[in-house]
């Protein structure tokens, strides 16, 4: 049995409480939130859970084994650091931290304390993403060539993070989960329509040495909600529409190949379209699967699917995207060792 | 009566012939194509039109008043130059030319010869684009904030131009037609999945001093066809889905505004959603409306909707996008006079 | 404050408990279910509500003012009769009873006891149906001409009632709510794909003296879920797609009219298509609005939207549909006084 | 080489001319239409085809081998009879004739004259219908249980035939083509919204001894266009949406089975949902495939897919539907030999 405490009972907290309540071998002992009305709400629905005003009442509670942090990003590092230092296992909401430096420090402390540090990238636990990973891993798509994601909506403008930090972690975590190759650089552009210098529309390109490319289109100012991702290989391609109630994944038996026409000095491209397959997907609530992965990873001392290393890689791309936006889209290098030679005008991310 | 000759009877040529055949005050005298099988095909359907092998048989035919050029982009300049020099009116398929320099030279020659030079950006003549322009001009959208376009498909890989030059002219011409402000710079990224260095996927951001932003997502390697554009103002927003048979334009009574919360030192954003309106659109074939605009502009010595100046502006953005892609997404300045001060790392387009 | 007891904690019961818990001026005192595991489930979520095994512990509890019946249809009459006889207010799940006779007896008893008898036709409380009623009442559609409803799914085969009794009450209650005219007859056809003589696919036509017609297509054996209704007037028409997350109602400015061409001895029909309007709808949960209507109707001694008379009219059509199906689609008359003269082969429903 | 003459150059005639022009081993010699402006239109597009005012100029032309009849239904019988009597092969537009009697007489005459008599049910030649037939024939769907078709639109009100005669021939021909069993009866209901007693909305149920059922929903007064058919077996089910540009057929691996629960005296139904498969379909224009089937059936003296017997069966159902509508939905028996015993109130179609 793992006793957990949850810090933050705002938008996402109730979902965490509900699912950790339902998870196996787990007991939700306490929830912390500084707002009395949130604790009152908690009490009405879960009279057995202790509500506390101060996060430290959870962090320093010897009866609690694991701390779940569902507070604004800027507070993640400090709360997680304290909890890890106390020897607690820690689960952090995405994005993991405000910087790669912070994420690295937490990972080191968790290793030193031999406790689990995990990030809640819930989407990795959906039937759709599990199916996509399997299709990529099994080479059913052939060589994977691109990932193109659109996540737009009329959404709450955040006051501390821009639209990429708010929405893209979902898609970048999926990218990192299904593609093994690590990117070498990013370019990002965007715009602020208020006067606080926080982008509400942004576009991100992630570059890879192999010729794979990923692109993310995020907006808080779209009148329609779109949650669409294309993943293309040279043998098959996937359309992932998260708004479809059941047919979320469509696998197109569509591919292309090329050859050189020596005589005419040009490249000939053949493309092919075939049947479409819509697989039935697992429908267990992803957040519950995530909660069970957290608990069983603690108990079995194994790495969860949504590991802290994946969480760090997501922050690395977000951090670089900020640098690129602030320098008018300049390419920002993530990993200088893999930069192809033709790149010329770049900034290297530390 | 305007006598026209059409050069090129490939993919688009038959559509031009059919519509100029149907246009008012117009007679299609001759069609040129170097391929005998294409001329044979022409003869079967239009026994009254003369088929010729050599474009010059049209350009130097004194019985022809206007020349329509529907050949690969690289040939546009030479053919148009010769025709203008002969005093013919000229209509060029999009994109106008391979460079802004060529486009500028043609515009000068046409002015000097006092003939009409026009570019066929057919989309400007659709009911959908006419409605969008009217909504922007009338300020019904409020202040216009962004345009976001996706035009992807499993499409024919071109061997002379990349996917932006192939697909984006449609969307950039719409942008230029409905938005008066001129952009100051572009950023573009992309990828080549063959070995000919011609991008088959590319992303383009166009930047404006006022804070308006435009973004274009083009691909020849998508398993699904998408033709979608969002145009957002702070009062209303438009979704333009060209694949819808009748409901192409949806107007969302959706907007946002912001104010400063002095006490908490942050920006408060309000957004609002309301009804949706789907206007009935004119359904006349756009290409026929374009043909009639060409003929009547010749006769009335007026500027057509799809003018050579708009055609030049499209080429300017495409040319800059090439520079940006080849320099890893570096910002390329179009108009140094309007660059906001915060921009720092840029290349100025000559 | 109205103290309520709920009988039945199966599929729908938890939704009732949750919403009456949230309703104003209302206290959920007890829930009855004969299955211990259901009461255990109740206790986990609502420790303050008393769980009882026997419905009579609710019906005869003097502390309870109103009884809500969410059990199989065949038990509705007996439970409601006992509760009304005790002077309790009663809310019954749809369909109200197994026969018009039972429904009539309950209505009489409720009047005699001066208590509220109401049927839970939840759909009447949705923003979509409220909007449709308003459009019909205000004559915005012109003269209303037809209602056509499709409600199909791969669904649970019921063992006591056929697919019309299971699914059509939703649509028939909407029909009765938005159309004032009463029907004079019905025709129904259907098929049984098991060996229990209970139709799993059925089609129902409801006939009206004015020339209005309603049609219902219900199935438990469709691979796709469809929840679509068309309501057509001669001035405007409505498409109601309940599966759309936000755009549930589309109002088409589409109409038709006719005139007589005396010379050619034929009827000329003109039709017209125009814009489409998608109104923003109220998004309050319909079941909560229904619960509040029940409570306030008790307190203010007023008729609720979903009255027992509407509930009876729904049962009347269902009962007649059974007669028609069992007699190979024969027309069954509901109200002999309004039958148009041309009808000839009919059975009169007593 | 088969020389054909086409009677009628109205709505469908130009499509026939275009496709017979393109068909193999076929020459379109003449087209008849009484309206001069239609012949003028023909001459502009096809200067090589002779236009005649009188149908008899085609029927009695010894240079013509085959006559295609694309005129209003009421004229089909007389024109076809004359052409068959002259020993011409005959293709008739759907529906074949105004009555089964007329259809039977034509079939007898064609047999006597040893010429081909065929009906143009174009849909049978689509990739979608060919695929559906193959799926039913190969038993991939298991035992076929139902067909449910909706074909509604805002459409031209006909002045000689009702909406079932206008729209349902498409769907009934598909039904007859993919299902071998013959129906024993029909029920139909409908409504007239003009004063000419011609139904503009109608519903048709077709009953089969095996327990299979078919239902058709047709309307000229829908604000939205729907072309949707469900075909359900107990192993798999098909959704056929003809408005989808490419994904017209979806095959659901969805089925159900039942068993008897002796103890509880009830039927237990299991249902199952699985993957969805969207097959790539042949995209050749159906009308061209039909034209080639007509020509090759003449040359090879074989029966075409869309035979006169299938055409007669379609008329038989339409004729019975009229009888049923006019008698308030009364069951009308098509084939008394296969009526199940439980049917009681019926009219037998002569």
Show pLDDT as tens, one digit a residue, over chain B (350 residues). 999 999 999 989 999 999 998 899 999 999 999 999 999 989 877 878 999 999 999 999 999 999 999 999 999 999 999 999 999 999 999 999 999 999 999 999 999 999 999 999 999 999 999 999 999 999 999 999 999 999 999 988 888 899 999 999 999 999 999 999 999 999 999 999 998 889 999 999 999 999 999 999 999 999 999 999 999 999 999 999 999 999 999 999 999 988 888 777 778 888 889 999 999 999 899 999 999 999 999 999 999 999 999 999 999 999 999 999 999 999 999 976 766 655 455 565 54
Q: How far does the CA of residue A127 sit from the closest CA of chain D (Å)?
A: 13
Q: How far does the CA of residue A157 sit from the closest CA of chain B (Å)?
A: 6
Q: How far does the CA of residue A281 sit from the closest CA of chain D (Å)?
A: 9
User: Is residue B43 less than 8 Å (CB to CB) from chain A?
Assistant: no
Position A231 scores a pLDDT of 98
In chain A, what residues touch C245 (CB-CB under 8 Å)?
Answer: 243
Q: Three-state SS for A274? A: coil
Cβ contact (<8 Å) for C327 and D346? no
In chain B, what residues touch D243 (CB-CB under 8 Å)?
Answer: 245
Position D348 scores a pLDDT of 57
Chain D, window 134-153: residues with a beta carbon less than 8 angstroms from a chain C beta carbon: 145-146, 148, 150, 152
Tell me what the mean pLDDT of segment A211-229 comes to. 97
| Closest residue in A to D278 (Cα–Cα) | A276
Q: Shortest CB distance from C47 goes to which of A47, A243, A245? A: A47
Please tell me the distance from the alpha carbon of residue C220 to that of residue C155, in angstroms, as a whole number.
5
- Among D241, D250, D278, D279, pick the best mutation site for testing chain A contact (most A Cβ within 10 A): D278
Q: How far does the CA of residue A95 sit from the closest CA of chain C (Å)?
A: 28
User: Is residue B276 less than 8 Å (CB to CB) from chain C?
Assistant: yes
Q: Shortest CB distance from B275 goes to which of C273, C274, C280? A: C280
List all residues 6 or more positions away from C276 whose beta carbon is below 8 Å from its beta carbon: B247, B277, B278, C250, C251, C252, C253
- What subunits make at least 3 CB pairs under 8 angstroms with A? B, C, D
**Cβ(C83)–Cβ(C32) below 8 Å:** no
The CATH number of A127-283+315-338 is 3.30.360.10
Tell me what the mean pLDDT of segment A110-124 comes to. 98
Using the predicted structure, report yes or no on whether residue D343 has a pLDDT greater than 50: no
Position B160 scores a pLDDT of 86
Q: Among candidates A239, A215, D250, which has minimal Cα distance to B226?
A: A239
User: Is residue B258 less than 8 Å (CB to CB) from chain A?
Assistant: yes
SS (H, E, C) A97-124: CCCHHHHHHHHHHHHHHCCCEEEECHHH
Q: Among candidates B25, B19, B80, B32, which has minimal Cα distance to B58?
A: B32
CB-CB neighbours of C169 under 10 Å: 24
Cβ contact (<8 Å) for C275 and B280? yes
Q: How far does the CA of residue B229 sit from the closest CA of chain A (Å)?
A: 11
User: Is residue D279 less than 8 Å (CB to CB) from chain A?
Assistant: yes
User: Is residue A210 less than 8 Å (CB to CB) from chain B?
Assistant: no
CB-CB neighbours of B21 under 10 Å: 18
User: Is residue B282 less than 8 Å (CB to CB) from chain C?
Assistant: no
What ranges make up the beta strands (E) of B208-339? 213-219, 221-233, 237-241, 249-252, 255-261, 266-272, 276-278, 331-333
Instruction: Give the model confidence (pLDDT) of A294-322 as tens digits.
Output: 999 999 999 999 999 999 999 999 999 99
Please tell me the distance from the alpha carbon of residue C220 to that of residue C199, in angstroms, as a whole number.
9
**ω into B253 cis (within 30 of 0):** no
**Cβ(C152)–Cβ(C171) below 8 Å:** no
Tell me what the mean pLDDT of segment A262-273 comes to. 82
Place of tokens 């036709």: C121
Q: Which two tokens stand for residue C2?
A: 């109205």
| Closest residue in B to C276 (Cα–Cα) | B278
Tell me what the mean pLDDT of segment D170-194 comes to. 96
User: Is residue C279 less than 8 Å (CB to CB) from chain B?
Assistant: yes
Cβ contact (<8 Å) for B277 and C280? no
In chain B, what residues touch D47 (CB-CB under 8 Å)?
Answer: 47
Tell how many helices (H) and how many strands (E) occur in chain B. Answer: 9, 18
Q: Which two tokens stand for residue C62?
A: 């003097």
Q: Among candidates C142, B295, A338, which has minimal Cα distance to D221?
A: C142
Chain A, window 232-251: residues with a beta carbon less than 8 angstroms from a chain C beta carbon: 243, 245
Q: Which two tokens stand for residue B113?
A: 């010869």
Q: Among candidates D102, D134, D131, D141, which has minimal Cα distance to D119?
A: D102
Cβ contact (<8 Å) for C344 and D331? no
In chain B, what residues touch C245 (CB-CB under 8 Å)?
Answer: none
Using the predicted structure, report yes or no on whether residue A188 has a pLDDT greater than 90: yes
Which stretch of A28-42, A336-350, D109-123 has the lowest confidence by average pLDDT? A336-350
CB-CB neighbours of B303 under 10 Å: 14
Q: In Å, what is the CA distance from B30 to each residue of B49, B51, B70, B79, D190?
A: 5, 6, 13, 16, 56
Cβ contact (<8 Å) for A278 and D274? no
Q: Shortest CB distance from B331 goes to which of A205, A207, A328? A: A328
Domain range annotation of chain B = 2-120, 126-283+315-338
User: Is residue A258 less than 8 Å (CB to CB) from chain B?
Assistant: yes
Q: How far does the CA of residue D95 sit from the closest CA of chain C (Å)?
A: 22
Using the predicted structure, report yes or no on whether residue D311 has a pLDDT greater than 80: yes
Architecture of domain D126-283+315-338: 2-Layer Sandwich (3.30)
Q: How far does the CA of residue B168 sit from the closest CA of chain C (Å)?
A: 30
Which stretch of B84-98, B182-196, D252-266, D277-291 has the lowest confidence by average pLDDT? D252-266
Q: Three-state SS for C90? A: strand
Position D338 scores a pLDDT of 65
Tell how many helices (H) and how many strands (E) occur in chain A. Answer: 9, 18
Q: Shortest CB distance from B328 goes to which of A146, A193, A344? A: A344
User: Is residue B47 less than 8 Å (CB to CB) from chain D?
Assistant: yes
**Cβ(B90)–Cβ(B110) below 8 Å:** yes
In chain A, what residues touch C47 (CB-CB under 8 Å)?
Answer: 47
Which stretch of C228-242, D43-57, D236-250 has the lowest confidence by average pLDDT? D43-57
Average pLDDT of every residue of chain C:
93
| Closest residue in A to C224 (Cα–Cα) | A246
Domain B2-120: CATH superfamily, name plus number: NAD(P)-binding Rossmann-like Domain (3.40.50.720)
Chain B, window 173-202: residues with a beta carbon less than 8 angstroms from a chain A beta carbon: 185, 187, 189-196, 198, 201
**DSSP element (H, E) containing A89:** strand A89-93
User: Is residue D47 less than 8 Å (CB to CB) from chain B?
Assistant: yes
Please tell me the distance from the alpha carbon of residue A94 to that of residue A77, in angstroms, as a whole number.
12
| Closest residue in D to C197 (Cα–Cα) | D267
- Among D247, D276, D279, D282, pick the best mutation site for testing chain A contact (most A Cβ within 10 A): D276
- What subunits make at least 3 CB pairs under 8 angstroms with C? A, B, D
The CATH number of C125-283+315-338 is 3.30.360.10
Cβ contact (<8 Å) for C146 and D346? no
User: Is residue B223 less than 8 Å (CB to CB) from chain D?
Assistant: no
User: Is residue A333 less than 8 Å (CB to CB) from chain B?
Assistant: no
Cβ contact (<8 Å) for C278 and B280? no
Cβ contact (<8 Å) for A277 and D280? no
| Closest residue in A to C245 (Cα–Cα) | A243
User: Is residue A274 less than 8 Å (CB to CB) from chain D?
Assistant: yes
User: Is residue A47 less than 8 Å (CB to CB) from chain C?
Assistant: yes
User: Is residue C205 less than 8 Å (CB to CB) from chain D?
Assistant: yes
Q: What percent of chain C has pLDDT over 70?
A: 96
| Closest residue in B to A212 (Cα–Cα) | B191
- Among C190, C216, C223, C324, pick the best mutation site for testing chain D contact (most D Cβ within 10 A): C223
Position A287 scores a pLDDT of 97
């Amino acid at each position: 049995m793992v006793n957990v405490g949850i810090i933050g009972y705002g938008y996402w907290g109730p979902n965490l409480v509900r699912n950790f309540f339902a998870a196996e071998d787990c007991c939700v002992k306490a929830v912390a939130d500084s707002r009395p009305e949130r604790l009152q709400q908690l009490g009405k629905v879960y009279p057995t859970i202790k509500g506390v005003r101060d996060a430290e009442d959870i962090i320093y509670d010897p009866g609690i084994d694991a701390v779940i942090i569902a507070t604004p990003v800027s507070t993640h590092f400090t709360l997680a650091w304290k909890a890890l230092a106390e020897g607690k296992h820690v689960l952090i909401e995405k994005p993991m931290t405000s910087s790669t430096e912070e994420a690295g420090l937490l990972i080191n402390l968790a290793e030193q304390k031999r406790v689990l540090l995990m990030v809640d990238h819930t989407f990795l636990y959906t039937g759709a993403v599990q199916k996509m990973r399997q299709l990529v891993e099994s080479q059913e798509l052939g060589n994977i060539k691109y990932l193109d994601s659109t996540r737009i909506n009329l959404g709450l403008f955040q006051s501390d993070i821009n639209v990429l930090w708010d929405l893209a972690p979902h898609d970048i975590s999926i990218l990192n989960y299904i593609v093994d190759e690590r990117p070498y650089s990013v370019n990002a552009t965007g715009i602020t329509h208020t006067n606080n210098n926080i982008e509400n529309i942004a576009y991100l390109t992630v570059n890879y040495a192999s010729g794979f490319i990923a692109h993310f289109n995020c907006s808080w100012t779209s009148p329609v909600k779109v949650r669409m991702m294309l993943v293309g290989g040279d043998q098959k391609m996937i359309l992932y529409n998260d708004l479809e109630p059941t047919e979320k994944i469509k696998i197109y038996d569509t591919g292309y190949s090329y050859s050189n026409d020596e005589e005419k000095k040009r490249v000939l491209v053949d493309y092919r379209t075939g049947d479409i397959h819509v697989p039935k997907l697992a429908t267990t609530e992803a957040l519950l699967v995530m909660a069970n992965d957290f608990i069983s990873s603690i108990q079995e001392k194994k790495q969860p699917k949504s590991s802290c290393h994946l969480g760090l890689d997501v922050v690395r791309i977000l951090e670089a995207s900020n640098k690129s936006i602030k320098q008018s889209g300049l390419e920002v290098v993530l990993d200088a060792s893999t930069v192809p030679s033709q790149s010329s005008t770049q900034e290297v991310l530390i």
